[in-house]
Structure 1
Amino acid sequence: MKTYVKLVLCIVMILAPGLNIRGEEPAVIAAEDGGGIQHAIDRLLEQDPDLQGALAGISVRSLSTGKILYGHMGDIRLRPASNLKLLTAAAALSVLGEDYSFKTEVLTDGVQRGKTLKGNLYLKGKGDPTLLTKDFEEMAENIRKKGITSIRGHLVGDDTWYDDVRYSSDLAWSDEDQYYGAQVSALTASPNEDYDAGTVILEVTPGSKAGKKPAVAVSPKTNVVNVVNHAKTVPEGKKKDIEVKRDHGTNTIHIQGTIPQGASKVRQWVAVWETSHYALDLFKKALHRQDIHILGDAKIGETPKNAELMTVHQSMPLSELMIPFMKLSNNGHAETLVKEMGKTVKKEGSWEKGLEVMRTELEALGVDTDALLLRDGSGISHINLISAHQITKLLYSVQHEEWFSSYIRSLPVSGASDRMVGGTLRNRLTNPSVKGKVRAKTGSLSTVSSLSGYIDTKSGDTLIFSILLNQLLDDEKGQEIEDRIAEILAAS
């Protein structure tokens, strides 16, 4: 009997895209052709070959009433990919507040005698994922302004604000050297204003002639990584095929393949191993540029409780950080915010405590937390589960929060060419009927594609929608399906 039940369930799940499963009673929006969005979306789900054998969870609500206007498998838990960031962003804004900022402190346990600091200098990270080379430079300048030119002690990096777990529980080992899988540490650094914390940027440029090794530049300059260049420059017209990989557990980066003469450079982000050492190295270099001589070693440790504060760097407020976080779908920001929520509320900067805080806050925002599974803050885990109806329920409730303007401003805008406006939607939904009318979070994992947010319709209404597509053979095809559904909604 159990075998028979399992077989029936499997058949239902496989055929699900063609079924009209609704957990709440929907109304129907009448379109100009009289068919309404129900008929148009149902027909798309039934006829699109890329959805055969796949799962499609769809929810559409009225922004003004919250009433469900359309649902297809709306109560079925599916993998949200980066649509999970909608939950993380809402919880973080609610717990931490729009004005919240991260601090990085420089402290000492020594005393200044003339131009010499007799004691250790501590760089204490408190989670800031936006530290750039110029910020380390500014902190070093502030030390120099105190008249210090020599430190008779060690330079110590302190990352104890969070726990020592660097990766979320379900991160694949093969993603560890990718920018989206970088380590999460209380002390870290970013290479540019995309703020992909814990990464460096490698640029590979063709050599002067065929047979020569291409030139390789690392930004920012750091002694932490070791680049081994196996690549070759080949004649013009030949194939460009450069591969950049970091060895697991080390900071040795291998570059292999070919790059033709005259070809454009290859630019790639690589996550470093032990980001605390990376940030400390950038600070050490900044001190040297200020002609501050350090007699001791650079190492990782803990700041004594009686250490004296010398200078502090404050990050941008959370309202501004939301822009690169959500527009560019920054995984590191999401996981940092989870740990920071745990540190702020439960005095422990860990995924476990942060997710506990997140669940509590989401429940207060109307989400049924008993009906979802949270494993991280970014959505990179394939074990995260939530239904489309729960996402639209959240998107309805948050519009009444005082921080909603920061929240909705952070969402990518369809067809907007400015990278910090259009974000991950800048090259999608560019038709006049939908351009600029969709504000939504994208999501993509292997076999998963998602899109959830707000859409302005032809009739002048605003709809809340969530589309979760799972078990896809081609997740890029999922984006095309999402865009077609968005066009249907916009035309209503």
Structure 2
Amino acid sequence: MRVYSDRGEGEHFTMEEKLNHLIEHELELKGAIAGVSIRDATTGEKVYGHMGDIRLRPASNMKLLTAAAALAVLGEDYTFTTDVLTESSIINNQLNGDLFLKGKGDPTLLPEDFDRFAKKVKANGIDVIDGDIVADDTWYDDVRLSPDLVWSDEHWYYGAQISALTASPDEDFDAGTVIVEVAPGDAGDLPAVAVTPDTTYVQVENNAKTVASSGDEDLTLNRVHGKNTITINGTIPAGSASVKEWMAVWEPTGYALDLFRKALERQGVLWTGELKTGQAPEKADGIYTNESITLSELLVPFMKLSNNTHVEILVKEMGKVVHNEGSWEKGLEVVETEMEKLGLNMDTSVIRDGSGISHMNLLAPDEISILLHNVQGVEWFQAYLNALPAAGKPDRMEGGTLRGRMNDRDVQAKTGTIEGVSTLSGYLKTEGGGEFIFSIMLNNLLDEENGPAVEDKIVAVIANQ
């Protein structure tokens, strides 16, 4: 290979030569693997490759495959529904039997949605329920966590459990989580703790301490395994800003049921039975059906903010729609089938989940760049492209995970990070008016936080063409 010293003054280097020199001499990968695949966006011709055919861990670049499959199978206008049901009669403002809340995967249900459900119950003339309030999550199976999720991730928002009936604390739609905010008190006092939304489903053990303003913020939040007890330990300085963490709950179905319970109480609706989980009878009648935002709208927070819960719900939904089984196994079968239709060779790939959080997922950069080229020709491509983070755009729902990177580049791409892995794949326009597709996959990094700088240098070489 020729390096820069081989050329005389005034001679120009090709993109291939620049990238080879950058990867082999300047990036200081220190034993890490860099897989790179670059294609002409119009023709699909591969114009550069470095270990492009080597299977690597994709991290959240896996979402590029799952999002494409969901758009192909479910469609841009697909919505999730949630039903309030009963099979019993209403006489003198009393429901003579059970009330059912049946979830069908909607990850966007907010506390105010449960208030609306309760108001619909009241509007149907129900003041008393002579029976149980039953949460039905049987639309999907009862496997809550993907097979390779690291145990230490399960209490964080990105490791939230998957249920067909769940709830989100805010409009990022981090389904299956609550927001825990810790605010300092006076030095020596316990800090104040607030949980959003207001729910008794989680309890807080506050063992933290407010220290002098010159002290360190060193808080540790955790959730006890198998319980909804959140522990807070460590220190927070007096006068400092509050600390917020999004914590995953144990069993989201019960979380949604608790929000529904509180909403019914606010409407003055009483019941004689219990709060429990179960299955609604097939012949149950609808009191109210709630419809979510469309898939194309959901893709924006999903892809821009790289939401793992959204994508795993979509995997199960595809399994339910195609195979009548809302499971990872059946959903991933659908993903693989759709990727084959889009030209990928799934015989050389390993897919273990929809989000890429598994270290067992294996994809080659060449396969990702093939996907990104081929989806340009499908009817839902604009929704797909619109959902990708846009470099340097400060708005979270535009720039997403790229809002603080490559401010001078015209790049739309999906980021990805798990321990030892950093990836970036997408579309860019060059300074000379060219358009390229790229996939950069860095594996075996000593510190994955160094990955974005490496990726940005590679993108800069492409963009300067």
Category of TM-score, reference length = shorter chain: over 0.9
SS at match of 1:50: coil
Looking at structure 1, the residues matched to 123 and 93 of structure 2 have their Cα atoms a distance apart, in angstroms, of 10
Equivalent of 2:106, from 101, 105, 128? 128
Where does residue 286 of structure 1 map in the other structure? 263
**Which residues of 2 match residues 450-461 of structure 1 at below 5 A?**
450-461=423-434
Where does residue 247 of structure 2 map in the other structure? 270
Task: Provide closer, same or farther for how the CA distance between residues 260 and 19 of structure 1 changes in structure 2, counting only shifts above 3 A.
Answer: farther
Looking at structure 1, the residues matched to 12 and 319 of structure 2 have their Cα atoms a distance apart, in angstroms, of 51
TM-score normalised to structure 1 length: 0.92
Looking at structure 2, the residues matched to 454 and 444 of structure 1 have their Cα atoms a distance apart, in angstroms, of 19
* Residue 144 (str. 1) matches residue 122 (str. 2): yes
- Kindly provide the amino acid, as one letter, of the partner of residue 240 in structure 2: A
Is the 1:365–1:398 contact (alpha carbons within 8 Å) kept by the matching residues of 2?
A: yes
- Kindly provide the amino acid, as one letter, of the partner of residue 445 in structure 2: L
Is the 2:90–2:125 contact (alpha carbons within 8 Å) kept by the matching residues of 1?
A: no
Deviation string for 1:397-420 (max 9, x for gaps)? Answer: 000000000000000000000000
Task: Provide closer, same or farther for how the CA distance between residues 122 and 202 of structure 1 changes in structure 2, counting only shifts above 3 A.
Answer: same
Deviation string for 1:68-125 (max 9, x for gaps)? Answer: 0100001000000000000000000000000000000010121101211111000000
Structure 1 stretch 106-115 or stretch 413-422: which is displaced more? 106-115
- Kindly provide the amino acid, as one letter, of the partner of residue 246 in structure 1: R
**Which residues of 2 match residues 305-316 of structure 1 at below 5 A?**
305-316=282-293
Where does residue 61 of structure 1 map in the other structure? 39
SS at match of 1:263: coil
- Kindly provide the amino acid, as one letter, of the partner of residue 235 in structure 1: A
* Residue 465 (str. 1) matches residue 438 (str. 2): yes
Deviation string for 1:296-355 (max 9, x for gaps)? Answer: 111111111121111011000000000000000000011000000000000000000000
* Residue 354 (str. 1) matches residue 327 (str. 2): no
Looking at structure 2, the residues matched to 142 and 477 of structure 1 have their Cα atoms a distance apart, in angstroms, of 52
Where does residue 343 of structure 1 map in the other structure? 320
Equivalent of 2:210, from 214, 226, 233? 233
SS at match of 1:291: coil
- Kindly provide the amino acid, as one letter, of the partner of residue 231 in structure 2: H
Looking at structure 1, the residues matched to 11 and 348 of structure 2 have their Cα atoms a distance apart, in angstroms, of 37
Deviation string for 1:375-428 (max 9, x for gaps)? Answer: 000000000000001000000000000000000000000000000000000011
- Kindly provide the amino acid, as one letter, of the partner of residue 154 in structure 1: D
- Kindly provide the amino acid, as one letter, of the partner of residue 85 in structure 1: K
Aligned-residue sequence identity (percent) comes to 56
- Kindly provide the amino acid, as one letter, of the partner of residue 449 in structure 2: E
Deviation string for 1:13-56 (max 9, x for gaps)? Answer: xxxxx999xxxxxxxxxxx9621211111111112353121111
User: 5+ residue gaps in structure 2?
Assistant: 4-9
SS at match of 1:285: helix
Is the 1:50–1:472 contact (alpha carbons within 8 Å) kept by the matching residues of 2?
A: no
Looking at structure 2, the residues matched to 48 and 128 of structure 1 have their Cα atoms a distance apart, in angstroms, of 47
Output the aligned Cα RMSD. 1.4
* Residue 479 (str. 1) matches residue 452 (str. 2): yes
Where does residue 171 of structure 1 map in the other structure? 149
SS at match of 1:61: strand
Deviation string for 1:170-213 (max 9, x for gaps)? Answer: 00111110100000010100010111110000000111x21111
Where does residue 55 of structure 2 map in the other structure? 77
User: 5+ residue gaps in structure 1?
Assistant: 1-17, 21-31
SS at match of 2:129: strand
Where does residue 3 of structure 1 map in the other structure? none
Where does residue 91 of structure 1 map in the other structure? 69
Task: Provide closer, same or farther for how the CA distance between residues 142 and 66 of structure 1 changes in structure 2, counting only shifts above 3 A.
Answer: same
Looking at structure 2, the residues matched to 171 and 125 of structure 1 have their Cα atoms a distance apart, in angstroms, of 24
Looking at structure 1, the residues matched to 25 and 263 of structure 2 have their Cα atoms a distance apart, in angstroms, of 60
Is the 1:50–1:473 contact (alpha carbons within 8 Å) kept by the matching residues of 2?
A: no
Deviation string for 1:277-301 (max 9, x for gaps)? Answer: 0000001111111111122111111
Is the 1:115–1:148 contact (alpha carbons within 8 Å) kept by the matching residues of 2?
A: yes
- Kindly provide the amino acid, as one letter, of the partner of residue 156 in structure 2: Q
Looking at structure 2, the residues matched to 203 and 53 of structure 1 have their Cα atoms a distance apart, in angstroms, of 40
SS at match of 2:188: coil
Looking at structure 2, the residues matched to 213 and 312 of structure 1 have their Cα atoms a distance apart, in angstroms, of 44
TM-score normalised to structure 2 length: 0.97
Is the 2:124–2:287 contact (alpha carbons within 8 Å) kept by the matching residues of 1?
A: no
Q: Give 1:366 shift.
A: 0.8
Where does residue 192 of structure 1 map in the other structure? 170
Task: Provide closer, same or farther for how the CA distance between residues 35 and 291 of structure 1 changes in structure 2, counting only shifts above 3 A.
Answer: same
Q: Tell me the matched-pair count.
A: 459
Looking at structure 2, the residues matched to 58 and 393 of structure 1 have their Cα atoms a distance apart, in angstroms, of 13
* Residue 424 (str. 1) matches residue 401 (str. 2): yes
Looking at structure 2, the residues matched to 294 and 398 of structure 1 have their Cα atoms a distance apart, in angstroms, of 52
Where does residue 87 of structure 2 map in the other structure? 109
Looking at structure 1, the residues matched to 187 and 449 of structure 2 have their Cα atoms a distance apart, in angstroms, of 36
Structure 1 stretch 268-277 or stretch 231-240: which is displaced more? 231-240
- Kindly provide the amino acid, as one letter, of the partner of residue 274 in structure 2: D
**Which residues of 2 match residues 3-22 of structure 1 at below 5 A?**
none
Looking at structure 2, the residues matched to 488 and 194 of structure 1 have their Cα atoms a distance apart, in angstroms, of 34
Moved over 2 A (4+): none
Where does residue 7 of structure 2 map in the other structure? none
Looking at structure 2, the residues matched to 416 and 294 of structure 1 have their Cα atoms a distance apart, in angstroms, of 50
Is the 2:422–2:443 contact (alpha carbons within 8 Å) kept by the matching residues of 1?
A: yes
Where does residue 448 of structure 1 map in the other structure? 421
* Residue 39 (str. 1) matches residue 12 (str. 2): no
Where does residue 361 of structure 2 map in the other structure? 384
Looking at structure 2, the residues matched to 141 and 369 of structure 1 have their Cα atoms a distance apart, in angstroms, of 49
Task: Provide closer, same or farther for how the CA distance between residues 82 and 385 of structure 1 changes in structure 2, counting only shifts above 3 A.
Answer: same
- Kindly provide the amino acid, as one letter, of the partner of residue 15 in structure 2: I
* Residue 488 (str. 1) matches residue 461 (str. 2): yes
Is the 2:41–2:437 contact (alpha carbons within 8 Å) kept by the matching residues of 1?
A: yes
SS at match of 2:415: strand
**Which residues of 2 match residues 189-228 of structure 1 at below 5 A?**
189-207=167-185, 209-228=186-205
SS at match of 1:455: strand
SS at match of 1:51: coil
Looking at structure 2, the residues matched to 453 and 426 of structure 1 have their Cα atoms a distance apart, in angstroms, of 15
Looking at structure 1, the residues matched to 157 and 11 of structure 2 have their Cα atoms a distance apart, in angstroms, of 47
